[in-house]
């Protein structure tokens, strides 16, 4: 972490300000190891450049495995000239509805940043990017941004984030809150961090869509039963089979007039997701079938969460029925 970000941080338990004791700094002025302390004596380690406010992954273990295996597949720089070029940028823009002016020179927080593909979009647009995640994916994120002083990544609990209220100009959570035990509480915690007149965006799994298919729920249950014996080997094997064999076959079958029976199979029996890049198909299939928690929601639910979190002018954004954005009340 760069010491200039210290004013953004606070003790997640007491809300007290933090002081940094650096044990090791690098040539770029980044604190590589050290401790954050409150006047009352609470302390939190900085390990590999990441402030650590939690000690375990809890319900998010599969994502730590996932992002350490595929740390950059969805980054724009990894997709130049490939079929998914521009996808991450379009996704972020359509979900948040934020303009370049809403980001340039502003400080924006990503709630559940994973390895940081959306932090990368904020940086490309000239913003200061702050990410928080419960999982060891924070190490991937730190590695992905190396010594960029305008990126801060912390490992912390979304329900008790280590940031001062009203700190950020904007905040978003994309594809994350449905993997927590209490999505509305997570969104409320995010909104509290955004200054009055700032913007807040959220996207979660829609009811009835791919992640709600019976086939996905069935395979997820199978994986969770087998995990104690096989770890992630079963899910990994299925993801590669689906990406390189099943999904292309199902797509061809649909093109030859078998759309309805193939859709029935996809919805009820075999998880098959076709994206233009096979690497993305592997990742997204694995992502669908491994989480311990994966709830689905309606647009009305997400709108209610935002309004209860004191956001105004809440609107649906163009990505999907459950991507919405609003402005923080004064």
Angle at 222 between CA 216 and CA 228, to 5 degrees: 135
pLDDT of residue 63: 72
DSSP state of 52: B
SS3 content of the chain, % helix, strand, coil (to 5): 45, 20, 35
Paired with 24 in beta bridges are 33
| Pure H helices in the chain | 61-69, 87-96, 117-124, 137-145, 183-192, 214-230, 233-241, 247-253, 259-268, 278-289, 299-308
**Crossing angle of helices 233-241 and 214-230, rounded to 10°:** 140
Q: Positive or negative, the Cα torsion across 4, 5, 6, 7? A: positive
User: Which residue ranges make up each domain of the chain?
Assistant: 58-206+296-328, 210-289
Angle at 246 between CA 245 and CA 250, to 5 degrees: 125
Quickly count: other Cβ atoms within 10 Å of residue 147's Cβ.
14
Residue stretches of the chain with pLDDT short of 70: 56-62
The encoded tokens of residue 106 equal 């502003």
pTM: 0.95
Cβ contacts of 321 within 8 Å, gap of 6 or more: 206, 298, 299
Q: Pick from 57, 233, 73: which is nearest to 138 by CA?
A: 57
Computed on alpha carbons and rounded to an integer, the radius of gyration of the chain in Å comes to: 20
With 0-12 / 13-18 / 19 or more C-beta atoms within 10 angstroms meaning exposed / middle / buried, residue 329 is: middle
Q: Pick from 17, 43, 2, 53: which is nearest to 164 by CA?
A: 17
Angle at 135 between CA 132 and CA 137, to 5 degrees: 85
Give the CATH class of 58-206+296-328: alpha beta
Cβ contacts of 319 within 8 Å, gap of 6 or more: 91, 94, 95, 203
Map residue 133 onto helix, strand or coil.
strand
pLDDT of residue 330: 75
pLDDT of residue 136: 78
DSSP state of 256: I
pLDDT of residue 105: 98
């Amino acid at each position: 972490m760069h010491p200039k970000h210290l004013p953004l941080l606070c003790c997640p338990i007491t809300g007290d300000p933090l002081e940094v004791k650096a044990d090791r700094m690098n040539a770029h002025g980044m604190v590589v190891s050290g401790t954050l302390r409150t006047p009352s004596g609470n302390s939190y380690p900085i390990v590999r450049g990441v402030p650590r406010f939690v000690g375990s992954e809890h319900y998010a273990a599969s994502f730590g495995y996932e992002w350490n295996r595929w740390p950059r597949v969805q980054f724009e720089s990894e997709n130049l000239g490939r079929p998914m070029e521009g996808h991450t940028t379009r996704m972020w823009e359509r979900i948040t509805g934020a303009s370049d002016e809403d980001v340039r020179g502003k400080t924006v927080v990503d709630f559940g940043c994973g390895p940081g593909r959306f932090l990368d979009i904020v940086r490309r647009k000239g913003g200061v990017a702050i990410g928080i995640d419960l999982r060891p994916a924070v190490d991937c994120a730190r590695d992905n941004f190396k010594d960029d002083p305008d990126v801060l990544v912390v490992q912390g609990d979304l329900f008790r984030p280590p940031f001062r209220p009203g700190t950020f100009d904007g905040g978003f959570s994309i594809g994350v809150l449905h993997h927590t035990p209490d999505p509305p509480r997570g969104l409320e915690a995010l909104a509290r961090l955004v200054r009055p007149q700032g913007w807040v965006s959220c996207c979660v799994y829609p009811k009835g869509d791919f992640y709600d298919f019976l086939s996905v729920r069935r395979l997820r249950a199978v994986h969770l039963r087998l995990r104690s014996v096989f770890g992630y080997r079963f899910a990994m094997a299925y993801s590669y089979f689906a990406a390189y064999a099943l999904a292309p076959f199902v797509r061809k079958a649909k093109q030859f007039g078998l759309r309805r029976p193939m859709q029935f199979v996809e919805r009820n029996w075999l998880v098959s997701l076709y994206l233009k890049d096979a690497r993305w198909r592997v990742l997204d299939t694995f992502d669908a079938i491994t989480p311990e928690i994966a709830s689905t929601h309606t647009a009305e639910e997400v709108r209610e969460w935002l309004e209860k979190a004191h956001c105004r002018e809440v609107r649906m954004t163009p990505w999907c029925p459950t991507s919405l954005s609003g402005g923080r009340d004064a």
